[in-house]
Amino acid sequence: MDDIEILEQRAIDAAINLEWDDAILLNKQIIKLDKLNESTYLRLGFAHLQLKDFANSKKYYHKALKIQPKNNVALQNLEKISILEKGGTIKSLQEKKVFDPDLFIEVQGKTKIVSLSILGQKNILANLFIGEEVYLRIKRRRVEVRTQNEDYIGALPDDLSKRLIYFIKAKSEYISFIKDATITKIILFIREEKKGRTVAQYPSFPQNIQKNFEELALEEEKAEEDDQEEVVDTWEKILNEVSEEKEELIGIQTDVLDEESEE
């Protein structure tokens, strides 16, 4: 591993731990060794952005654009800075807890990484940060994602919304975090925390969500039919018992009437 690779790993580790000043120093060391390192300029722009140093953040993003004029990360973050400078407010990540590098560990069937649709206002999206906890809210036939202050971020895709509405109503619980955020794309990480009793045998996030949900719905429909048949059988049994009792009463009354007639 050469010096640049070592410095890059140290710079990334510093950013993961929200040690932005250290990250800046390490990335500047890389620039001294490689003045055309586009990724390093992007990391410097991002680190200064987290410190609300918009001037330096813009400077490094523009340096990245000189190397790659169509770099989407630089362009989007420059637009983000423009929004924040016009009146948005960026949250101070210095006050946040150290970012847990294990936060986004994937577990088959229990976690899901998904892009949100129908995104909210850019000034809301501009303030989101990686690792921020956000909240799932059922709204009609869709699951919305909102901030702690109930600001609308976006919505889950229709197929996933349909499934999670079913699972949430069955008392399943989920926790979600921002995995990546720009003003045009939000990536969400969702993790199952608790499974509802009636859906305990089903994974929250199967590989084929639509197919699995159809199978689940069919089984649920069959279970409801079985319950209805059981109810019908119970009522038929009660009616039969009542009918037998009525016949016995009628028989008794007939015998009594016959005896009274003979007298």
Q: Give the least confident one: 24-28, 40-44, 123-127, 258-262.
A: 258-262
pLDDT recorded at residue 93: 44
pLDDT recorded at residue 104: 85
pTM of the full structure: 0.69
Considering only the top CATH level, what class is 3-91?
Answer: mainly alpha
Helix (H, G, I), strand (E, B) or coil at 151: coil
- Tokens 């960026």 locate to 90
Average pLDDT, the chain: 83
237/21: higher pLDDT: 21
Question: Running DSSP on this structure, what letter comes out for residue 175?
Answer: E
Taking the CA atoms of residue 90, residue 92, residue 97 and residue 101 in that order, the dihedral angle to the nearest 10 degrees is 50
Which are the contacts of 90, defined by CB distance < 8 A and separation ≥ 6?
49, 52, 84, 126, 127
Q: Domain ranges in the chain?
A: 3-91, 111-207, 211-263
CATH assignment, 111-207: 3.30.70.2330
The confidence band for 234, taking pLDDT boundaries of 50, 70 and 90, is low
- Per-residue pLDDT reduced to its tens digit, 168-217: 999 999 999 998 888 899 999 999 999 999 889 899 999 887 766 666 66
Residue 191 pairs in a beta bridge with 111, 175
